[in-house]
Amino acid sequence: MYGNRNASGGGTRPAGGSTPTADGTARQHRRKVTAPALQARKGGQPIAMVTAYDYTMARLLDRAGVDILLVGDSLGMVVQGRSSTIPVTLEEACYHTRAVARGAEYAHVVGDMPFMSFQVSATQAVQSAGKLVKDGMAESVKLEGGEDVAEHVSRIVRAGIPVMGHVGLTPQSVHALGGYRVQGKGQNAAERIVADAIALEQAGAYAIVLEAMPPDAAAEVTEAVSVPTIGIGAGAGCDGQVLVCYDMLGMTVGHNPKFAKHFAEVGDQIHTAVQDYVREVRDGSFPGPEHCYRTNESRSEKKKLAVV
């Protein structure tokens, strides 16, 4: 497995369109992406979501045009090096979401609700979601589960916080599922996922992540709900896609899931760059004069005179 806002949600810049620049090219204006705007994309332009966990990566992804930055609880695995997402705490989720929110000028920022931050009761779910929005600067929250958590979703939504659902492979339930297995295999299993997704939609979720399921099951869910579905390992029949940033950039160490296309091999580039750095430090070719501040001429002149 892995700012700025105004009443229309359109930010302080013009709403869409383009402005000619000095070199004659057109610069596209982008609006801050909001949950209602994402919900309205059902069946329209596919939604591109990527995970992010820190400010620098968030800025890069935001500038490249992603619609949603998901601060996934996958941070437990890809940032903290744990073997599952289960130990991630709400405080850790808030810390990473804040860092990402500072780098997200346009992309919508979704904070993932960690294991046991929402399952206990609807009241606990509202409190945790509120913390992710108040302390974590999240613009919406995501939580795993279907019918079982529908009441919790409804209460969070009624508190004014948009919710993204997550069905299929729900990694926080890894022990109950018996491993990170593809879900929705066979008609009955697929129908259960459809029922979960419908329950989330009825509870007010504005979008639903579909993780690790056969493409036909994901397409069935997408057909059955009126909110966008965002797939990961769920085929092309969804309203959008999500990937873990390190997976799509070729930075993941170890197992690479089949669905995680590498759009670059940044891991290899880092390896070569750091090897070059180590060599240049050791052979004295770094730092060169161009990497040094100007020498203090007057002091070295005085030293020379003193020697004479």
Nearer Cβ to ligand KIV (181/271)? 181
- Counting contacts by CB under 6 A, is residue 132 touching ligand KIV? no
- Counting contacts by CB under 6 A, is residue 252 touching ligand KIV? no
Q: Which of 161, 200, 227, 232 binds ligand KIV (CB under 6 A)?
A: 232
Nearer Cβ to ligand KIV (59/142)? 142
Q: Which amino acid makes up residue 27?
A: R
Token digits of residue 32:
């801050």
- Counting contacts by CB under 6 A, is residue 229 touching ligand KIV? no
| Alpha helix segments (H runs only) across 29-89 | 35-39, 55-63, 75-78
- Counting contacts by CB under 6 A, is residue 112 touching ligand KIV? yes
Contact (CB, 8 A) for 35 and 139: yes
Nearer Cβ to ligand KIV (62/211)? 211
Q: Which of 62, 67, 73, 92 binds ligand KIV (CB under 6 A)?
A: 73
- Counting contacts by CB under 6 A, is residue 209 touching ligand KIV? yes
- Catalytic member of 211, 223, 265, 290: 211
- The 8-class DSSP code of residue 145 comes to B
Least gap, CB of 192 to ligand KIV (angstroms): 19
Cα 25 from chain centroid (whole Å): 31
Contact (CB, 8 A) for 264 and 243: no
Task: Assess whether 211 carries a catalytic annotation.
Answer: yes
Contact (CB, 8 A) for 105 and 58: no
- Counting contacts by CB under 6 A, is residue 66 touching ligand KIV? no
- Counting contacts by CB under 6 A, is residue 244 touching ligand KIV? yes
Please name the residues in contact with 31: beta carbons below 8 A apart, sequence gap of 6 or more. 9, 10, 11, 13, 15, 16, 37, 106
Closest CA to 211 of 188, 244, 186: 244
Interface stretch with ligand KIV, choices 66-74, 121-129, 148-156, 293-301 (CB under 6 A): 66-74
- Closest residue by beta carbon to ligand KIV: 72
Token digits of residue 291:
């990497």
- The 8-class DSSP code of residue 307 comes to H
Please name the residues in contact with 241: beta carbons below 8 A apart, sequence gap of 6 or more. 46, 47, 48, 49, 230, 231, 232
Binding track, positions 160-199, relative to ligand KIV; x by CB under 6 A:
----------------------------------------
Q: Please list the active-site residues.
A: 211
Q: Which residues bind ligand KIV (CB under 6 A)?
A: 2, 51, 70, 72-74, 112, 209, 211, 232, 242, 244
